[in-house]
Amino acid sequence: MSNDESIRTGFYVCHCGHNISDVVDCTAVARYASTLAGVMVSRDYKYMCSSPGQELIRQDILEHKLNRVVVASCSPLLHEHTFRNAVAAGGLNPFLFQMVNIREHDAWVHADRAAATAKAQALVSAAIRRVALHKPLQATRAPIHPDVLVVGGGIAGIHAALTLANAGKKVYLVERQPSIGGHMAQFDKTFPTLDCAACILTPKMSAVRSHKNIVLWTYSEVAKVDGYVGNYTVTVRRKARYVDENLCVGCQECIDACVFKVPKFPDPFNLGMSMQKPIYIPFPQAVPQAAVIDPDRCIQLKTGKCKKTCVEACADRKAINLNQKEQLLEIKVGSIITATGFKLFDAKRLPEYGYGRYPDVMTTIELERLVSSSGPTGGELRLRSGKPPTAVGFILCVGSRDMRTNRWCSRTCCMHSMKLAQIVRERTGAQVTVFYIDIRAPGKGYEEFYDRSLQQGVQFVRGRVAEVSDCALSPDEAGKLVIRVEDTLAGFVRRVPLDLVVLAVGMEPQADAQEMRRILNMSCSAEGWFLEKHPKMAPVSTFTDGVFIAGCCQGPKDIPDSIAQAGAAAAEALALIDAGGIDQEPNTAYIRGEECSGCKSCISLCPYAAISFDAEKQKAVINPALCKGCGTCVASCPSGSIGQNLFEDQEVFEEINGVLDYV
Partner 1 sequence: MELGQKIKCEADRTAGFGKAIAAMPGCERLGSCIQCGACSGACPLSIYMDQSPRQVIALVRGDFKKQALSCNTIWLCSSCYACTVQCPREIGITDIMYALKQCAMSERAYPAGLSIPILARQFVRMVVRRGRITETRLVMRFFLQTNWKAAISSWRLGLNLIRTRRFGIRQQHIKQHLELAAMLAQAKNANAGGSP
Task: Give residues in contact with ligand SF4 (CB under 6 A).
Answer: 14, 16, 19-20, 47-49, 73-74, 78-79, 103, 589, 605-606, 608, 610-611, 622, 627-633
State in angstroms the smallest separation of the CB of 450 from partner 1.
8
State in angstroms the smallest separation of the CB of 645 from ligand SF4.
10
Measured between alpha carbons, how far is 57 from 60 in angstroms, rounded to an integer?
A: 5
- Nearest in space to 94 (alpha carbons), one of 139, 46, 158: 139
Q: If contact means CB under 5 to 8 A according to the sort of partner, which of ligand SF4, partner 1, none does residue 58 touch?
A: none
The one-letter amino acid at 276 = Q
State in angstroms the smallest separation of the CB of 584 from partner 1.
54
Report DSSP letters for 38-81, one per residue.
TEEEEEEES-TTSHHHHHHHHHHHHHHT--EEEEEES-HHHHHH
State in angstroms the smallest separation of the CB of 354 from partner 1.
19
Q: If contact means CB under 5 to 8 A according to the sort of partner, which of ligand SF4, partner 1, none does residue 606 touch?
A: ligand SF4
Measured between alpha carbons, how far is 527 from 506 in angstroms, rounded to an integer?
A: 13
Q: Which is nearer to ligand SF4, 228 or 345 (CB)?
A: 228
Measured between alpha carbons, how far is 397 from 443 in angstroms, rounded to an integer?
A: 18
CB neighbour list of residue 402: distance below 8 Å, 6 or more residues apart: none
Report DSSP letters for 448-467, one per residue.
HHHHHHHHTT-EEEES---E
State in angstroms the smallest separation of the CB of 490 from partner 1.
4
Q: Is 660 exposed, middle or buried (0-12, 13-18, 19+ CB in 10 A)?
A: exposed
State in angstroms the smallest separation of the CB of 579 from ligand SF4.
23
Measured between alpha carbons, how far is 193 from 422 in angstroms, rounded to an integer?
A: 12
Q: Which is nearer to ligand SF4, 263 or 631 (CB)?
A: 631
Q: Which is nearer to ligand SF4, 103 or 119 (CB)?
A: 103
Q: Which is nearer to ligand SF4, 92 or 589 (CB)?
A: 589
β-sheet bridge partners, residue 11: 42, 70
Q: If contact means CB under 5 to 8 A according to the sort of partner, which of partner 1, ligand SF4, none does residue 476 touch?
A: partner 1
Q: Which is nearer to ligand SF4, 47 or 260 (CB)?
A: 47
Q: Which is nearer to partner 1, 62 or 490 (CB)?
A: 490
Measured between alpha carbons, how far is 413 from 400 in angstroms, rounded to an integer?
A: 9
Q: If contact means CB under 5 to 8 A according to the sort of partner, which of ligand SF4, partner 1, none does residue 490 touch?
A: partner 1
Q: Which is nearer to ligand SF4, 277 or 628 (CB)?
A: 628
Count the neighbouring beta carbons within 10 Å of the beta carbon of residue 618: 11
Q: Which is nearer to partner 1, 473 or 575 (CB)?
A: 473
- Nearest in space to 433 (alpha carbons), one of 449, 420, 446, 451: 420
Q: Which is nearer to ligand SF4, 217 or 450 (CB)?
A: 450
Report DSSP letters for 491-506, one per residue.
TEEEEEEESEEEEEE-
Q: Which is nearer to partner 1, 459 or 587 (CB)?
A: 459
Sign of the four-CA dihedral 557, 562, 564, 566: positive
Measured between alpha carbons, how far is 437 from 181 in angstroms, rounded to an integer?
A: 31
State in angstroms the smallest separation of the CB of 172 from ligand SF4.
27
State in angstroms the smallest separation of the CB of 222 from ligand SF4.
23
Q: If contact means CB under 5 to 8 A according to the sort of partner, which of ligand SF4, partner 1, none does residue 374 touch?
A: none
What are the angstrom distances between the C-alpha of 466 and each of 160, 392, 396? 42, 17, 12
- Nearest in space to 257 (alpha carbons), one of 316, 313, 305: 313
Measured between alpha carbons, how far is 420 from 32 in angstroms, rounded to an integer?
A: 67
Q: If contact means CB under 5 to 8 A according to the sort of partner, which of partner 1, ligand SF4, none does residue 462 touch?
A: partner 1
State in angstroms the smallest separation of the CB of 14 from ligand SF4.
3
Q: If contact means CB under 5 to 8 A according to the sort of partner, which of ligand SF4, partner 1, none does residue 489 touch?
A: partner 1
Count the neighbouring beta carbons within 10 Å of the beta carbon of residue 591: 20
Q: If contact means CB under 5 to 8 A according to the sort of partner, which of partner 1, ligand SF4, none does residue 497 touch?
A: partner 1
Q: Which is nearer to ligand SF4, 309 or 601 (CB)?
A: 601
Q: If contact means CB under 5 to 8 A according to the sort of partner, which of ligand SF4, partner 1, none does residue 628 touch?
A: ligand SF4
Kindly report the CA angle at 192 between 191 and 196, in degrees rounded to 5? 50
Q: If contact means CB under 5 to 8 A according to the sort of partner, which of partner 1, ligand SF4, none does residue 439 touch?
A: partner 1
State in angstroms the smallest separation of the CB of 474 from partner 1.
6
Q: If contact means CB under 5 to 8 A according to the sort of partner, which of ligand SF4, partner 1, none does residue 603 touch?
A: none
Could you list the residues that contact partner 1 (CB under 8 A)?
A: 439, 450-451, 454-457, 459-462, 473-474, 476-477, 487, 489-497
State in angstroms the smallest separation of the CB of 446 from partner 1.
13
Q: Where are the alpha helices (DSSP H) in 579-611?
A: 601-605
The one-letter amino acid at 590 = Y
Taking a C-beta distance cutoff of 8 angstroms, is the pair 264, 290 a contact? no
Of the CA atoms within 13 Å of residue 509, those in its CB half-sphere come to 20
CA 178 from centroid of its chain's CA atoms: 23
Q: Which is nearer to ligand SF4, 513 or 602 (CB)?
A: 602
Q: If contact means CB under 5 to 8 A according to the sort of partner, which of partner 1, ligand SF4, none does residue 639 touch?
A: none
* Phi/psi at 173 (5° precision): -110, 115
Q: Which is nearer to ligand SF4, 383 or 625 (CB)?
A: 625
State in angstroms the smallest separation of the CB of 45 from partner 1.
46
Looking at residue 551, the DSSP 8-state letter turns out to be: G
Q: If contact means CB under 5 to 8 A according to the sort of partner, which of partner 1, ligand SF4, none does residue 635 touch?
A: none
Measured between alpha carbons, how far is 410 from 528 in angstroms, rounded to an integer?
A: 14
Helices (H) and strands (E) in the chain, counts: 17, 34
State in angstroms the smallest separation of the CB of 589 from ligand SF4.
4
Q: Which is nearer to partner 1, 141 or 462 (CB)?
A: 462
State in angstroms the smallest separation of the CB of 397 from partner 1.
17
CB neighbour list of residue 451: distance below 8 Å, 6 or more residues apart: none
Q: If contact means CB under 5 to 8 A according to the sort of partner, which of ligand SF4, partner 1, none does residue 487 touch?
A: partner 1
